[in-house]
Homo-oligomer: A and B are copies of this chain.
Protein backbone atom coordinates (compact mmCIF):
# COMPACT_ATOMS: atom_id res chain seq x y z
CA UNK A 1 0.00 0.00 0.00
CA UNK A 2 1.19 3.54 -0.67
CA UNK A 3 3.26 4.01 2.45
CA UNK A 4 1.83 7.12 4.01
CA UNK A 5 -1.82 6.77 3.03
CA UNK A 6 -3.17 9.69 4.91
CA UNK A 7 -6.82 8.69 5.14
CA UNK A 8 -7.73 5.44 6.82
CA UNK A 9 -10.04 3.28 4.69
CA UNK A 10 -9.04 4.87 1.37
CA UNK A 11 -6.26 2.63 0.03
CA UNK A 12 -3.91 3.86 -2.69
CA UNK A 13 -1.28 1.81 -4.50
CA UNK A 14 2.27 2.48 -5.54
CA UNK A 15 2.90 2.09 -9.30
CA UNK A 16 4.22 -1.50 -8.99
CA UNK A 17 1.19 -2.40 -6.84
CA UNK A 18 -1.17 -0.75 -9.29
CA UNK A 19 0.23 -3.10 -11.97
CA UNK A 20 -1.02 -6.04 -9.91
CA UNK A 21 -4.43 -4.40 -9.56
CA UNK A 22 -4.54 -3.70 -13.31
CA UNK A 23 -3.70 -7.34 -13.97
CA UNK A 24 -6.65 -8.41 -11.81
CA UNK A 25 -8.99 -5.93 -13.52
CA UNK A 26 -7.79 -6.83 -17.03
CA UNK A 27 -8.18 -10.55 -16.30
CA UNK A 28 -11.74 -10.11 -15.03
CA UNK A 29 -12.67 -7.97 -18.02
CA UNK A 30 -11.21 -10.49 -20.46
CA UNK A 31 -13.08 -13.42 -18.93
CA UNK A 32 -16.37 -11.56 -18.60
CA UNK A 33 -16.18 -10.45 -22.23
CA UNK A 34 -15.28 -13.97 -23.38
CA UNK A 35 -18.59 -15.00 -21.82
CA UNK A 36 -20.55 -12.30 -23.63
CA UNK A 37 -20.99 -9.76 -20.84
CA UNK A 38 -21.18 -6.11 -21.93
CA UNK A 39 -19.47 -3.36 -19.99
CA UNK A 40 -21.68 -0.82 -18.28
CA UNK A 41 -20.76 2.00 -15.91
CA UNK A 42 -23.27 3.94 -13.88
CA UNK A 43 -22.75 7.32 -12.29
CA UNK A 44 -21.19 7.34 -8.81
CA UNK A 45 -24.20 9.07 -7.29
CA UNK A 46 -27.81 8.06 -6.75
CA UNK A 47 -30.58 9.81 -4.94
CA UNK A 48 -30.94 8.87 -1.31
CA UNK A 49 -34.47 7.68 -2.10
CA UNK A 50 -33.09 5.19 -4.62
CA UNK A 51 -30.30 3.98 -2.34
CA UNK A 52 -32.49 3.39 0.67
CA UNK A 53 -35.26 1.58 -1.18
CA UNK A 54 -34.26 -1.62 0.61
CA UNK A 55 -34.19 0.23 3.87
CA UNK A 56 -31.32 -1.36 5.67
CA UNK A 57 -27.95 0.21 5.39
CA UNK A 58 -28.40 3.94 5.61
CA UNK A 59 -25.61 4.25 8.15
CA UNK A 60 -23.07 3.48 5.51
CA UNK A 61 -24.10 6.07 2.95
CA UNK A 62 -22.02 9.16 2.11
CA UNK A 63 -24.31 12.06 1.21
CA UNK A 64 -23.14 14.89 -1.05
CA UNK A 65 -23.61 18.61 -0.67
CA UNK A 66 -22.15 21.55 -2.56
CA UNK A 67 -19.59 23.05 -0.27
CA UNK A 68 -20.65 26.60 -1.02
CA UNK A 69 -24.37 25.96 -1.20
CA UNK A 70 -25.50 29.20 0.33
CA UNK A 71 -28.43 28.06 2.38
CA UNK A 72 -26.55 24.96 3.56
CA UNK A 73 -29.88 23.16 3.48
CA UNK A 74 -29.03 20.19 1.31
CA UNK A 75 -26.79 18.41 3.76
CA UNK A 76 -28.59 18.99 6.99
CA UNK A 77 -31.93 18.07 5.47
CA UNK A 78 -30.46 14.93 3.90
CA UNK A 79 -32.34 12.44 5.96
CA UNK A 80 -35.66 13.94 4.96
CA UNK A 81 -34.95 14.69 1.30
CA UNK A 82 -35.13 11.61 -0.97
CA UNK A 83 -33.71 13.68 -3.86
CA UNK A 84 -30.50 14.36 -1.96
CA UNK A 85 -27.50 12.89 -3.83
CA UNK A 86 -25.26 10.26 -2.25
CA UNK A 87 -22.46 7.94 -3.36
CA UNK A 88 -23.51 4.40 -4.31
CA UNK A 89 -22.56 1.68 -1.81
CA UNK A 90 -22.78 -1.21 -4.27
CA UNK A 91 -23.34 -1.74 -8.01
CA UNK A 92 -26.60 -3.68 -7.80
CA UNK A 93 -28.89 -0.82 -6.81
CA UNK A 94 -27.52 1.49 -9.54
CA UNK A 95 -27.72 -1.30 -12.11
CA UNK A 96 -31.36 -1.99 -11.23
CA UNK A 97 -32.15 1.69 -11.83
CA UNK A 98 -30.17 1.66 -15.09
CA UNK A 99 -32.11 -1.38 -16.36
CA UNK A 100 -35.45 0.24 -15.62
CA UNK A 101 -34.45 3.57 -17.18
CA UNK A 102 -33.02 2.00 -20.34
CA UNK A 103 -35.20 -1.09 -20.70
CA UNK A 104 -36.34 0.06 -24.14
CA UNK A 105 -32.75 0.13 -25.42
CA UNK A 106 -31.43 -3.14 -23.98
CA UNK A 107 -31.96 -6.62 -25.36
CA UNK A 108 -32.91 -9.21 -22.76
CA UNK A 109 -31.67 -11.38 -21.17
CA UNK A 110 -29.17 -8.58 -20.70
CA UNK A 111 -25.67 -9.64 -19.64
CA UNK A 112 -23.51 -6.94 -18.14
CA UNK A 113 -20.32 -6.60 -16.19
CA UNK A 114 -19.56 -3.50 -14.17
CA UNK A 115 -16.25 -2.68 -12.50
CA UNK A 116 -16.34 0.48 -10.40
CA UNK A 117 -15.57 2.00 -7.07
CA UNK A 118 -18.17 2.11 -4.33
CA UNK A 119 -18.16 3.91 -1.00
CA UNK A 120 -19.33 3.00 2.49
CA UNK A 121 -18.84 5.14 5.55
CA UNK A 122 -17.99 2.14 7.73
CA UNK A 123 -15.27 1.86 10.32
CA UNK A 124 -12.26 0.73 8.28
CA UNK A 125 -10.58 -2.55 9.20
CA UNK A 126 -8.56 -5.29 7.51
CA UNK A 127 -10.45 -6.26 4.38
CA UNK A 128 -13.02 -3.49 4.82
CA UNK A 129 -12.31 -0.13 3.19
CA UNK A 130 -14.44 2.99 2.79
CA UNK A 131 -13.62 3.23 -0.90
CA UNK A 132 -13.23 0.01 -2.82
CA UNK A 133 -13.64 -1.54 -6.25
CA UNK A 134 -16.26 -4.14 -7.03
CA UNK A 135 -16.52 -6.26 -10.18
CA UNK A 136 -20.08 -7.43 -10.81
CA UNK A 137 -21.68 -9.67 -13.39
CA UNK A 138 -25.41 -10.07 -13.72
CA UNK A 139 -27.86 -11.54 -16.19
CA UNK A 140 -31.24 -9.84 -16.11
CA UNK A 141 -34.39 -10.78 -17.97
CA UNK A 142 -37.55 -8.94 -18.83
CA UNK A 143 -40.19 -11.32 -17.47
CA UNK A 144 -38.72 -14.79 -17.09
CA UNK A 145 -35.08 -15.79 -16.52
CA UNK A 146 -34.32 -19.50 -17.07
CA UNK A 147 -32.78 -21.20 -14.03
CA UNK A 148 -29.84 -22.28 -16.19
CA UNK A 149 -28.26 -18.87 -15.74
CA UNK A 150 -27.76 -19.72 -12.05
CA UNK A 151 -25.61 -22.62 -13.20
CA UNK A 152 -23.82 -20.58 -15.84
CA UNK A 153 -22.86 -17.77 -13.48
CA UNK A 154 -21.24 -20.24 -11.08
CA UNK A 155 -19.09 -21.47 -13.99
CA UNK A 156 -18.14 -17.98 -15.14
CA UNK A 157 -17.15 -16.85 -11.67
CA UNK A 158 -15.17 -20.02 -10.95
CA UNK A 159 -13.28 -19.48 -14.21
CA UNK A 160 -12.66 -15.81 -13.36
CA UNK A 161 -11.38 -16.53 -9.84
CA UNK A 162 -9.22 -19.40 -11.10
CA UNK A 163 -7.49 -16.98 -13.47
CA UNK A 164 -6.44 -14.64 -10.63
CA UNK A 165 -3.15 -14.86 -8.68
CA UNK A 166 -4.87 -15.97 -5.47
CA UNK A 167 -4.71 -19.12 -3.34
CA UNK A 168 -7.33 -21.85 -3.58
CA UNK A 169 -10.87 -20.63 -3.05
CA UNK A 170 -14.11 -22.28 -2.04
CA UNK A 171 -17.25 -21.21 -3.81
CA UNK A 172 -19.98 -22.07 -1.31
CA UNK A 173 -23.43 -22.41 -2.81
CA UNK A 174 -26.84 -22.84 -1.25
CA UNK A 175 -30.44 -22.33 -2.30
CA UNK A 176 -33.01 -20.28 -0.42
CA UNK A 177 -35.89 -22.43 -1.64
CA UNK A 178 -34.26 -25.53 -0.19
CA UNK A 179 -33.76 -23.89 3.19
CA UNK A 180 -37.12 -22.14 3.35
CA UNK A 181 -39.00 -25.25 2.19
CA UNK A 182 -37.19 -27.34 4.77
CA UNK A 183 -38.02 -24.94 7.61
CA UNK A 184 -41.62 -24.87 6.49
CA UNK A 185 -41.56 -28.66 6.31
CA UNK A 186 -40.51 -28.94 9.97
CA UNK A 187 -43.15 -26.40 10.99
CA UNK A 188 -41.08 -23.19 11.30
CA UNK A 189 -43.08 -20.62 9.35
CA UNK A 190 -40.96 -17.47 9.94
CA UNK A 191 -38.43 -18.70 7.42
CA UNK A 192 -36.76 -15.29 7.12
CA UNK A 193 -36.27 -15.29 10.89
CA UNK A 194 -34.70 -18.75 10.80
CA UNK A 195 -32.37 -17.67 7.97
CA UNK A 196 -31.26 -14.66 9.97
CA UNK A 197 -30.43 -16.89 12.95
CA UNK A 198 -28.63 -19.48 10.83
CA UNK A 199 -26.62 -16.65 9.25
CA UNK A 200 -25.02 -16.14 12.69
CA UNK A 201 -23.79 -19.73 12.90
CA UNK A 202 -20.17 -18.98 12.08
CA UNK A 203 -20.08 -16.07 14.50
CA UNK A 204 -21.83 -17.42 17.60
CA UNK A 205 -21.84 -21.20 17.19
CA UNK A 206 -24.54 -23.88 17.01
CA UNK A 207 -25.55 -23.84 20.65
CA UNK A 208 -26.39 -20.14 20.69
CA UNK A 209 -28.21 -20.38 17.37
CA UNK A 210 -30.35 -23.16 18.84
CA UNK A 211 -31.17 -20.91 21.77
CA UNK A 212 -32.10 -18.07 19.41
CA UNK A 213 -34.35 -20.35 17.40
CA UNK A 214 -36.12 -21.44 20.57
CA UNK A 215 -36.35 -18.09 22.32
CA UNK A 216 -37.06 -15.83 19.36
CA UNK A 217 -38.88 -18.07 16.92
CA UNK A 218 -40.63 -20.46 19.25
CA UNK A 219 -38.87 -23.54 17.86
CA UNK A 220 -38.97 -26.81 19.82
CA UNK A 221 -35.66 -28.44 20.67
CA UNK A 222 -36.28 -30.93 17.88
CA UNK A 223 -37.05 -28.22 15.30
CA UNK A 224 -33.90 -26.35 16.29
CA UNK A 225 -31.87 -29.54 16.00
CA UNK A 226 -33.35 -30.24 12.55
CA UNK A 227 -32.60 -26.71 11.31
CA UNK A 228 -29.03 -27.03 12.59
CA UNK A 229 -28.68 -30.49 11.06
CA UNK A 230 -29.56 -29.03 7.65
CA UNK A 231 -27.07 -26.19 8.13
CA UNK A 232 -24.31 -28.64 8.99
CA UNK A 233 -24.41 -30.27 5.56
CA UNK A 234 -21.41 -29.46 3.41
CA UNK A 235 -20.45 -31.63 0.44
CA UNK A 236 -18.07 -31.17 -2.46
CA UNK A 237 -20.40 -33.09 -4.75
CA UNK A 238 -24.14 -33.73 -5.07
CA UNK A 239 -24.24 -36.14 -2.11
CA UNK A 240 -25.89 -33.35 -0.09
CA UNK A 241 -29.16 -34.44 -1.72
CA UNK A 242 -29.07 -37.82 0.01
CA UNK A 243 -27.98 -36.16 3.28
CA UNK A 244 -30.99 -33.85 3.18
CA UNK A 245 -33.34 -36.72 2.37
CA UNK A 246 -32.01 -38.60 5.41
CA UNK A 247 -33.47 -35.84 7.57
CA UNK A 248 -36.90 -37.10 6.50
CA UNK A 249 -38.52 -33.77 5.66
CA UNK A 250 -40.82 -33.37 2.67
CA UNK A 251 -41.83 -30.09 1.10
CA UNK A 252 -42.49 -29.01 -2.46
CA UNK A 253 -40.39 -25.83 -2.34
CA UNK A 254 -37.57 -27.80 -0.71
CA UNK A 255 -37.66 -30.28 -3.59
CA UNK A 256 -37.43 -27.45 -6.09
CA UNK A 257 -34.44 -26.02 -4.22
CA UNK A 258 -32.76 -29.44 -3.94
CA UNK A 259 -33.16 -29.94 -7.66
CA UNK A 260 -31.77 -26.50 -8.50
CA UNK A 261 -28.81 -26.76 -6.15
CA UNK A 262 -28.02 -30.23 -7.49
CA UNK A 263 -27.80 -28.84 -11.02
CA UNK A 264 -25.57 -25.94 -9.99
CA UNK A 265 -23.24 -28.15 -7.95
CA UNK A 266 -23.03 -30.91 -10.57
CA UNK A 267 -21.98 -28.47 -13.29
CA UNK A 268 -19.70 -26.35 -11.11
CA UNK A 269 -17.86 -29.31 -9.58
CA UNK A 270 -17.20 -30.61 -13.07
CA UNK A 271 -15.84 -27.27 -14.22
CA UNK A 272 -13.85 -26.37 -11.07
CA UNK A 273 -13.28 -29.58 -9.07
CA UNK A 274 -12.18 -28.95 -5.49
CA UNK A 275 -13.32 -25.32 -5.53
CA UNK A 276 -17.06 -25.77 -5.12
CA UNK A 277 -19.05 -26.75 -2.05
CA UNK A 278 -22.74 -27.20 -1.45
CA UNK A 279 -22.89 -25.46 1.92
CA UNK A 280 -26.34 -25.51 3.43
CA UNK A 281 -25.42 -22.99 6.13
CA UNK A 282 -25.03 -20.13 3.68
CA UNK A 283 -27.88 -17.67 4.17
CA UNK A 284 -26.59 -14.28 2.90
CA UNK A 285 -28.01 -11.38 4.82
CA UNK A 286 -29.77 -9.56 2.01
CA UNK A 287 -33.46 -10.23 1.85
CA UNK A 288 -34.00 -10.02 -1.87
CA UNK A 289 -32.33 -13.29 -2.81
CA UNK A 290 -34.94 -15.88 -3.71
CA UNK A 291 -33.06 -18.99 -4.91
CA UNK A 292 -29.41 -19.75 -5.45
CA UNK A 293 -27.00 -17.92 -3.11
CA UNK A 294 -23.24 -17.85 -3.50
CA UNK A 295 -20.34 -16.78 -1.34
CA UNK A 296 -16.62 -17.40 -1.60
CA UNK A 297 -13.69 -17.60 0.79
CA UNK A 298 -9.97 -17.88 0.21
CA UNK A 299 -8.75 -21.12 1.77
CA UNK A 300 -6.54 -20.23 4.73
CA UNK A 301 -7.87 -16.65 4.71
CA UNK A 302 -11.43 -17.28 5.85
CA UNK A 303 -11.25 -14.38 8.32
CA UNK A 304 -10.96 -12.01 5.38
CA UNK A 305 -14.65 -12.67 4.74
CA UNK A 306 -16.37 -13.38 1.45
CA UNK A 307 -14.45 -12.24 -1.63
CA UNK A 308 -17.28 -12.92 -4.05
CA UNK A 309 -20.98 -13.17 -3.26
CA UNK A 310 -24.32 -13.02 -4.94
CA UNK A 311 -27.45 -14.86 -5.84
CA UNK A 312 -30.76 -15.02 -7.66
CA UNK A 313 -33.43 -12.40 -7.17
CA UNK A 314 -36.89 -12.78 -8.64
CA UNK A 315 -37.20 -9.03 -8.97
CA UNK A 316 -33.95 -7.11 -9.26
CA UNK A 317 -36.12 -4.27 -10.47
CA UNK A 318 -39.67 -3.66 -11.59
CA UNK A 319 -41.46 -1.12 -13.71
CA UNK A 320 -45.19 -1.13 -13.19
CA UNK A 321 -46.24 -4.76 -13.57
CA UNK A 322 -43.06 -5.58 -15.48
CA UNK A 323 -40.54 -7.60 -13.46
CA UNK A 324 -36.81 -7.92 -14.13
CA UNK A 325 -35.48 -11.07 -12.41
CA UNK A 326 -31.73 -11.48 -12.25
CA UNK A 327 -28.84 -13.55 -11.04
CA UNK A 328 -25.47 -12.06 -10.30
CA UNK A 329 -22.21 -12.07 -8.39
CA UNK A 330 -19.92 -9.38 -7.11
CA UNK A 331 -16.16 -9.76 -6.61
CA UNK A 332 -14.52 -7.61 -3.93
CA UNK A 333 -11.55 -6.51 -6.01
CA UNK A 334 -9.92 -4.21 -3.44
CA UNK A 335 -10.23 -6.83 -0.72
CA UNK A 336 -8.54 -9.37 -3.01
CA UNK A 337 -5.84 -7.02 -4.25
CA UNK A 338 -5.02 -5.89 -0.69
CA UNK A 339 -4.48 -9.50 0.27
CA UNK A 340 -2.50 -10.34 -2.87
CA UNK A 341 -0.17 -7.43 -2.12
CA UNK A 342 0.18 -7.90 1.63
CA UNK A 343 0.87 -11.64 1.22
CA UNK A 344 2.90 -11.14 -1.96
CA UNK A 345 0.87 -13.74 -3.83
CA UNK A 346 1.95 -11.87 -6.94
CA UNK A 347 4.34 -9.04 -7.77
CA UNK A 348 5.15 -7.04 -10.89
CA UNK A 349 8.42 -7.90 -12.65
CA UNK A 350 9.19 -4.18 -12.86
CA UNK A 351 7.42 -0.99 -11.82
CA UNK A 352 7.40 0.87 -15.14
CA UNK A 353 5.95 -0.07 -18.52
CA UNK A 354 9.20 1.03 -20.17
CA UNK A 355 11.33 -1.70 -21.80
CA UNK A 356 13.98 0.54 -23.40
CA UNK A 357 15.66 3.85 -22.60
CA UNK A 358 17.19 5.61 -25.61
CA UNK A 359 20.32 7.35 -24.40
CA UNK A 360 21.69 10.57 -25.85
CA UNK A 361 25.27 10.85 -27.14
CA UNK A 362 24.90 14.63 -27.14
CA UNK A 363 22.07 17.11 -26.76
CA UNK A 364 21.52 17.45 -30.49
CA UNK A 365 20.75 13.76 -30.85
CA UNK A 366 17.36 14.08 -29.07
CA UNK A 367 15.38 14.43 -32.30
CA UNK A 368 17.05 11.39 -33.86
CA UNK A 369 16.47 9.49 -30.62
CA UNK A 370 12.75 10.29 -30.90
CA UNK A 371 12.76 8.62 -34.31
CA UNK A 372 14.35 5.45 -32.93
CA UNK A 373 11.79 5.50 -30.11
CA UNK A 374 8.90 5.88 -32.56
CA UNK A 375 10.18 2.90 -34.57
CA UNK A 376 10.28 0.75 -31.42
CA UNK A 377 6.86 1.92 -30.18
CA UNK A 378 5.35 1.04 -33.56
CA UNK A 379 6.09 -2.58 -32.63
CA UNK A 380 4.55 -2.21 -29.17
CA UNK A 381 7.81 -1.66 -27.28
CA UNK A 382 7.41 0.88 -24.48
CA UNK A 383 10.26 3.35 -24.89
CA UNK A 384 11.57 6.46 -23.16
CA UNK A 385 14.13 8.92 -24.44
CA UNK A 386 16.66 10.47 -22.06
CA UNK A 387 15.95 14.15 -21.49
CA UNK A 388 19.59 15.20 -21.25
CA UNK A 389 22.93 14.05 -22.61
CA UNK A 390 24.39 13.24 -19.20
CA UNK A 391 27.37 10.90 -19.03
CA UNK A 392 26.33 7.43 -20.18
CA UNK A 393 26.90 6.08 -16.69
CA UNK A 394 24.32 8.46 -15.32
CA UNK A 395 21.83 7.67 -18.08
CA UNK A 396 22.27 3.94 -17.44
CA UNK A 397 21.85 4.51 -13.72
CA UNK A 398 18.54 6.26 -14.39
CA UNK A 399 17.32 3.21 -16.34
CA UNK A 400 18.56 0.88 -13.63
CA UNK A 401 16.85 2.83 -10.86
CA UNK A 402 13.56 2.72 -12.73
CA UNK A 403 13.90 -0.98 -13.56
CA UNK A 404 14.12 -0.43 -17.32
CA UNK A 405 15.88 -3.55 -18.64
CA UNK A 406 17.43 -2.20 -21.88
CA UNK A 407 19.36 0.92 -22.88
CA UNK A 408 19.91 1.93 -26.49
CA UNK A 409 22.97 3.71 -27.89
CA UNK A 410 23.31 5.45 -31.24
CA UNK A 411 26.72 6.82 -32.08
CA UNK A 412 27.53 9.71 -34.37
CA UNK A 413 27.92 7.36 -37.33
CA UNK A 414 24.36 6.16 -36.76
CA UNK A 415 25.42 2.73 -35.47
CA UNK A 416 22.84 1.33 -33.04
CA UNK A 417 23.54 -0.94 -30.09
CA UNK A 418 21.31 -2.22 -27.31
CA UNK A 419 22.49 -3.30 -23.88
CA UNK A 420 20.75 -5.54 -21.37
CA UNK A 421 21.77 -3.77 -18.17
CA UNK A 422 21.11 -6.87 -16.08
CA UNK A 423 23.55 -9.14 -17.93
CA UNK A 424 25.71 -6.36 -19.38
CA UNK A 425 25.42 -7.95 -22.82
CA UNK A 426 25.59 -5.33 -25.59
CA UNK A 427 24.74 -6.10 -29.23
CA UNK A 428 24.16 -4.28 -32.51
CA UNK A 429 20.45 -3.64 -33.14
CA UNK A 430 18.20 -2.35 -35.90
CA UNK A 431 15.50 0.14 -34.79
CA UNK A 432 13.21 -1.28 -37.48
CA UNK A 433 13.50 -4.89 -36.36
CA UNK A 434 14.85 -5.38 -32.82
CA UNK A 435 12.50 -6.94 -30.25
CA UNK A 436 13.20 -7.57 -26.57
CA UNK A 437 12.62 -11.13 -25.33
CA UNK A 438 8.87 -11.72 -24.90
CA UNK A 439 9.16 -11.82 -21.09
CA UNK A 440 10.69 -8.32 -21.08
CA UNK A 441 8.23 -6.66 -23.44
CA UNK A 442 5.82 -5.64 -20.69
CA UNK A 443 5.87 -5.81 -16.90
CA UNK A 444 4.78 -9.35 -16.02
CA UNK A 445 2.81 -10.39 -12.99
CA UNK A 446 4.91 -13.02 -11.24
CA UNK A 447 2.92 -15.42 -9.11
CA UNK A 448 4.61 -16.61 -5.92
CA UNK A 449 5.76 -20.21 -6.14
Residue of B nearest to A119 (CB): B44
What CA separation (Å) do A383 and B12 show in the bound complex?
A: 35
Surface stretch bound by B, among A71-79, A167-175, A205-213, A233-241 = A71-79
Those of A29-46 within 8 Å (CB) of chain B: 33-45
What CA separation (Å) do A48 and B67 show in the bound complex?
A: 9
Known contacts A13-B41, A101-B5, A109-B387: A75-B65 contact under CB 8 Å: yes
What CA separation (Å) do A79 and B67 show in the bound complex?
A: 7
Majority DSSP secondary structure for residues of A touching B: mixed
Contacts of A10 in B (CB 8 A): 43, 45
Surface stretch bound by B, among A14-22, A218-226, A285-293 = A14-22
A68 contacts B59, C-beta separation under 8 Å: yes
Q: Could you jot down 7 A-B contacts, CB within 8 Å?
A: A12-B98, A15-B112, A33-B353, A36-B354, A36-B404, A44-B44, A75-B78
B78 contacts A76, C-beta separation under 8 Å: no
Question: What copy number does this chain have within its complex?
Answer: 2
Residue of B nearest to A83 (CB): B7
Contacts of A15 in B (CB 8 A): 38-40, 106, 112
Q: Is A253 an interface residue (CB 8 A)?
A: no
Residue of B nearest to A145 (CB): B387
Those of A120-151 within 8 Å (CB) of chain B: 121, 131, 146, 148-149
A34 contacts B366, C-beta separation under 8 Å: no
- Other A-B contacts than A18-B39, A36-B353, A65-B75, 17 sampled, CB-CB below 8 A, are A7-B47, A10-B45, A12-B41, A12-B42, A19-B38, A34-B380, A36-B354, A38-B353, A44-B44, A44-B119, A44-B131, A64-B64, A65-B78, A67-B121, A75-B75, A111-B384, A148-B387
| Interface bits A83-117 vs B (CB < 8 Å: 1, else 0) | 00111000000000110011011110101100001
Q: How large is the interface on A (under 10, 10 to 19, 20 to 34, 35 or more residues)?
A: 35 or more
Contacts of A2 in B (CB 8 A): 98, 101-102, 105
Q: Is A152 an interface residue (CB 8 A)?
A: yes
Known contacts A14-B102, A18-B38: A131-B45 contact under CB 8 Å: yes
What CA separation (Å) do A367 and B263 show in the bound complex?
A: 11
B3 contacts A18, C-beta separation under 8 Å: no
What CA separation (Å) do A48 and B106 show in the bound complex?
A: 40
Residue of B nearest to A10 (CB): B43
Q: Is A401 an interface residue (CB 8 A)?
A: yes
